[in-house]
Amino acid sequence: MIGGRGGSGREPYLAARVLNALLRENYGHLAGRVTRSKDGVALVLSGGRRVRLVAGALFQDFVVAPEEALGLEEVLRTLKEIAAPADAAGVEAFVRECREALRALDLHDAHREEVLTRLRREPRPAASASAPGPPFEPSARYETLAAFVDHPVYPTARCRSGLSDDDLTAYAPEFAPAFELRWAAVPRERVAGAALPGAPRLPEVGLPSSLAGTHVLFPVHPLTVPRVERIPWVVVGPRARLKVRPTLSMRTVVVDRGTHLKLPLTTSTLGLRNRRSIKPDTLADGARAELLLREMPHPGVFLADEQTYAHAGHEYLGWLVRRLPPGEIVPVAALLAPLPGGGLVVEELAGRWYGGDVTRMLQEYLRLLFGFHVRLLVRYGTALETHQQNLSLVLGTGPPALLVKDNDGLLTSPDRLRAAGLPVPDFADRRMLTDDPHALADVFVTITLHLAAAAVTFGALPARQAARLVRDALVTALDEHGDDPMARLLRARTLDAARLVGKSMITAGTLVDTSRTGARDVNKFYGTSGPNYLRQFLKAAGGAIARGTS
């Protein structure tokens, strides 16, 4: 059995997600094994087993039927059979990824109720902005709850490669841990960037005061200490200081209600090639992207302040301070998460801020989401990787608002920026610049539409109602820009499209080497497509919907 555990209650769930992903990306031409007969649609595995498929999923035509109890090993045997010989290393890496993800799922299940019980004891947010008591709770609670929800499309998102069970329970957000950071003295001449606000003194971390004139203290995540200790010009202090809690991203930690700290980790998530270290150039590029976005202000949208950072020219020696606006900040990834007392986060928030009306809350969210992102794309040729982890709701300080963070994945058009009278940032990563409108639309569809809008809305509401909400909000946002060529392109790529583009995440992230995919960025590698859920769930609603009106 898997990993010598003697079976797992979550194995059929993970096996189905893995097979769905392989089918969605058509890895190894797996779709060629799909059969259709009077008995329905099925996929033939390597051992000859016919797995029944059903339609109706958001991002692909067919998925494994709910009653099929798959084993992970039979799915992985099929993967090995269809894989090209050149992908052998990537396939073995993905096999390990699957097994680590299953172990993490089992571990989370074993601790789930204990974590929820601890969260239930924590201070709860006030019923409204005018209620007595502290109006806002620490954001770490919602970060923990967000980690209870699996990624909408990446099947093995629970895997943090190379981490043990003890590592996960001590530092992963779904276990709601608190821990203290370690500190390293770095030679001053190697440091570029700001001084860390509130850093401890050298003796507080067990280092001599004599280093003060020549060294600077860098925060180090406990999991990264063994790697940093191998850097010959660094001195790691023996004592920990500054208690923190992990956010959903794990490498970013909550210092206090208004401050997060981003630190390198030695693991990978969402694919072998998505390493959680921090390349020095990305810190400056993220800061440049934030300043660019501040030239494009939008009502109801906050940008996290990410201008304070430093690095020492090494991927495991860097940090970023993220300052948050006032308010109750809830990651969009947390909206579908279970609450300690039952129900979902989206229902709790709707109960406190929208009179219990989940639909009205989501309408307001979608209005803000599409109004902002469509304007960015049409007017400024700019698309953001603001997926459900990088986007938050801000509640309790006036009208609901959005918070955008972590902008180093931004894609922008130099031509559109110049036309809008804005300077083109001098990004170190030139992949952030493109004048290809379809490349910009790809980011909008796969991130803003699929992850930030559809995954959340369809998870909270019945499919037809969700499709109408998403479609209506997108129509409204596009109508504000009339016949602008970029608005016409977005309509063609979303409202009017027969199919919607998707990302081949496991193909580019782990299975196939970049020399074969040709992917300049594994997070922007496309080639898959799925049904247009903005149309398919509304076909019976009448001609007005089919014509793209609302």
Q: What is the pLDDT of residues 335-360, one digit of tens each?
A: 999 999 899 999 999 999 999 999 99
* Residue 549: pLDDT over 80: no
Rounded-to-integer distance, Cα 307 and Cα 283, Å: 9
- Residues 386, 418: contact at Cβ < 8 Å? no
**Single-letter amino acid code for the residue at 187:** P
Query: What is the pTM (predicted TM-score) of this model?
Result: 0.93
**Single-letter amino acid code for the residue at 422:** L
* Residue 264: pLDDT over 70: yes
User: What is the predicted pLDDT for the residue at 326?
Assistant: 95
CATH number of 329-546: 1.10.510.40
* Residue 83: pLDDT over 50: yes
Q: What is the pLDDT of residues 497-532, one digit of tens each?
A: 999 999 999 999 999 999 899 888 889 999 899 999
Phi, psi of 62 (to 5 degrees): -135, 145
Rounded-to-integer distance, Cα 340 and Cα 122, Å: 10
Q: What is the pLDDT of residues 284-295, one digit of tens each?
A: 999 999 999 999
Q: What is the pLDDT of residues 186-242, one digit of tens each?
A: 999 999 999 999 999 999 999 999 999 999 999 999 999 999 999 999 999 999 999
* Residue 2: pLDDT over 60: no
Q: What is the pLDDT of residues 304-327, one digit of tens each?
A: 999 999 999 999 999 999 999 999
Q: What is the pLDDT of residues 369-412, one digit of tens each?
A: 999 999 999 999 999 999 999 999 999 988 999 999 999 999 99
Rounded mean pLDDT of the chain? 93
Q: What is the pLDDT of residues 431-488, one digit of tens each?
A: 999 999 999 999 999 999 999 999 999 999 999 999 999 999 999 999 999 999 999 9
pLDDT band per the 50, 70, 90 thresholds, residue 124 = low
Rounded-to-integer distance, Cα 502 and Cα 328, Å: 32
User: What is the predicted pLDDT for the residue at 125?
Assistant: 55
User: What is the predicted pLDDT for the residue at 138?
Assistant: 56
Q: What percentage of residues in the chain have a pLDDT greater than 90?
A: 89
Tokens representing residue 532 in the block: 């247009």
* Residue 128: pLDDT over 50: no
* Inter-helix orientation angle 358-380/463-479, to 10°: 40
User: What is the predicted pLDDT for the residue at 131?
Assistant: 35
- Residues 107, 168: contact at Cβ < 8 Å? yes
Strand 401-404 and strand 328-331: the pairing is unpaired
What are the DSSP calls for 489-508, one per residue?
Answer: HHHHHTTS-SEEEEE-HHII
Residue 467's nearest CA partner among 475, 385, 330 is: 475
What are the DSSP calls for 332-399, one per residue?
Answer: GGGTTPBPTTSSBHHHHHHHHHSTT-HHHHHHHHHHHHHHHHHHHHHHH-EE----TTSEEEEESSSS
User: Residue 452: CB partners within 8 Å, gap ≥ 6?
Assistant: 332, 369, 386, 387, 388, 391
Angle among Cα 324, 430, 390 to the nearest 5 degrees reads 25
Domains of the chain, by residue range, sit at 2-82, 165-321, 329-546
Provide the CB-side half-sphere exposure for 396 (13 A, CA).
19
Q: What is the pLDDT of residues 536-547, one digit of tens each?
A: 887 744 443 333
pLDDT band per the 50, 70, 90 thresholds, residue 421 = very high
User: What is the predicted pLDDT for the residue at 542?
Assistant: 45
User: Residue 131: CB partners within 8 Å, gap ≥ 6?
Assistant: none
User: What is the predicted pLDDT for the residue at 519?
Assistant: 86
Distances 403 to 48, 332, 391 between C-alpha atoms, Å: 50, 10, 6
Phi, psi of 536 (to 5 degrees): -65, -35
* Residue 424: pLDDT over 80: yes
Residue 9's nearest CA partner among 74, 77, 86, 103 is: 103
Q: What is the pLDDT of residues 130-144, one digit of tens each?
A: 333 333 345 799 999
Q: What is the pLDDT of residues 49-78, one digit of tens each?
A: 999 999 978 999 999 999 999 999 999 999
Tokens representing residue 396 in the block: 């309790």
User: What is the predicted pLDDT for the residue at 7?
Assistant: 55
Tokens representing residue 538 in the block: 């509304």
Mean pLDDT of all residues in 249-267 = 96
